[in-house]
Amino acid sequence: MKKYSKYFVVAMSTLAFAFSTGTLIKVNATPAAAAAVPAQPVDLTYAAEKSLPSVVHILSTKNSKVQTVEVENDPFSDFFSDPFGFFGNPQGNGGKQRRSVRTPKQQGSGSGVIISADGYIVTNNHVVADADELTVTLNDNKEYSARIIGTDKASDLALIKIDGKNLPAITIANSDDIKVGEWVLAVGNPFNLTNTVTAGIVSAKARSLYQNGVESFIQTDAAINPGNSGGALVNTRGELIGINAMLYSQTGSFSGYGFAIPTSIMNKVVADLKQYGTVQRALIGIQGQDVKNYVDAKKDKGEDIDLGTMEGIYVAKVTEESAAEEAGMKEGDVITAIDGKPVNKMAELQEVLAKKRPGDKVTVTYLRYKKKATKTVTLKNEKGNTQVVKKADLDVLGGNFRAITNAQKEQLNIGYGLEVLKVNSGRLKTAGITKGFIIQRVNDNAVKTIDDLQNAVKEASTSKDPVLYIQGVYPTGKKAYFAVPLED
């Protein structure tokens, strides 16, 4: 379980969002002095009945795998059986040996929300990350195998799919419409206690915890416990307003506040994953912080700062060749509104941009030396243009690969790598990589499996610098280094 500060706990594969039941709410209440119960002015049974069938249990499985690890040399190891699960022949390397070890099978659980009758389900990225198998159990105990359609680490969202028909899809509401103090329900599977509903209120909006790349959380006084990560946060009509994602805790269990990703962000991420396979993220190209935080930091240093406002985003840096630079924005500007809507803190700016795509235009209102100015900004992608960003596939390299054999490891005194079995037309041939070359590292990450190489290609293809920096060795033992551009 990932802890933040003291401690924000990211609800990793087994997190839960549950709401402490306080007062109960009546959503479809008919006028009703007669129906009212003293000290119980609201009834949440309608919301629970509407949302429960749409929330699923997700079992994530990571299969057992064989990995090569380095251990200290033991001169007596050949005389005794190994009680730690090592197998295969150790290979010496100075004071260390390389041994093969089998990792145990791992399982974790979380929650998800059915958003369409044909089986699309939204959950958290950390619930399904690195999973070899996903098993989805519905409210009626029917089980399905699921496949991943797409993931987005920056927002901690993932889209998966099961093969089903006429599934109980939830109604999605606009999270922008919710208000602080409004009653909400959390639905999920805390501690594997399936079909659990708890209640709370919206404590704050547009909260940032500095854990993900994109954050504008709905904060609630939800009782959050392991197992409900990826579950539904719903309003009193049983409509989805957020996907539960984090908790605040000093113990790892609920002790105060929970956080959900609003549907305003979720809808855009889901649409992009369906259409493009990756999120089309629109960037304005600034680094900055909330004005209040900036002013407070200056005061701590004994400096008096007057920006003309205590709300908005202080621009600490304008990225080169960015949308903001092209529009003429400068360090020291204070952004106060986007498209006429006030933005008082960085999380609100992130939420606005999270709904946009590269090429979209926004009107930015800002203060420069306390004087108001307005610019039209054309947003760009991570690569600094307005084109659609698509993740490249392994095919772009134009090669066939396999994990190296034990004989190759022993001969070359290496622990891992991918051998290039064949070079066709593609990026490898252009870069000068030939058959027999063994790839060991890509962009400074170890490459032990074909999946490792595939992930490296996908990550690099959507970055500002779409290049693979490949390190490896030839069968002769000669080491080599190549830069392989993924774009012309």
| CB contact at 8 A, 232 and 187 | yes
Q: 240 with 263: CB under 8 angstroms? A: yes
Residues 157, 269 contacting (CB under 8 angstroms): yes
* Residue-wise DSSP of 220-281: E-EE--TT-TT-EEE-TTS-EEEEEEEEE-SSSS-SSEEEEEEHHHHHHHHHHHHHTSS---
Q: Find the Cα–Cα–Cα–Cα dihedral 302, 303, 308, 312, rounded to 10°.
A: -70
294 conformational bin, left if phi > 0, alpha if psi -120 to 50, beta if neither: alpha
> Which one is catalytic: 156, 221, 290, 333?
156
Please tell me whether 156 is known to bind a ligand: yes
Active site residue 290: no
DSSP for 186-210, written as a single string: EEE-GGG--SEEEEEEEEEEEE--S
CA distance 85 to 83: 6
Q: Is 57 annotated as a binding residue?
A: no
- The DSSP secondary-structure symbol of 449 reads S
Within 6-105, strands assigned E span 8-10, 18-19, 55-62, 66-72, 86-93, 96-102
Helix axes 346-354, 263-275, angle to 10 degrees: 40
Q: Binding residue per annotation — 264?
A: no
Please state, in angstroms and rounded to a whole number, the distance separating the CA atoms of residues 367 and 48.
46
Annotated active-site residue 229? The verdict is: yes
* Structure-token match 């927002």, residue found: 155
- Residue written as tokens 């113990």? 251
In this structure, the number of other CB atoms found within 10 A of the CB of residue 388 comes to 14
Annotated active-site residue in 100, 126, 203, 264? 126
* 228 in a known ligand binding site: yes
* Tokens at 241, concatenated: 């307003």
Other CB atoms within 10 Å distance of the CB of residue 77: 14
- What's the rounded Cα separation, in Å, for the pair 383 and 353? 16
Give the integer Cα–Cα distance in Å for 340 and 364. Answer: 8
- Check whether 94 is labelled as a binding-site residue: no
Q: Among candidates 317, 453, 460, 442, which has minimal Cα distance to 383? A: 460
Which member of 109, 208, 229, 249 is catalytic?
A: 229
Residues forming the annotated binding site for substrate? 126, 156, 227-229
Catalytic residues: 126, 156, 229
Residues forming the annotated binding site? 126, 156, 227-229
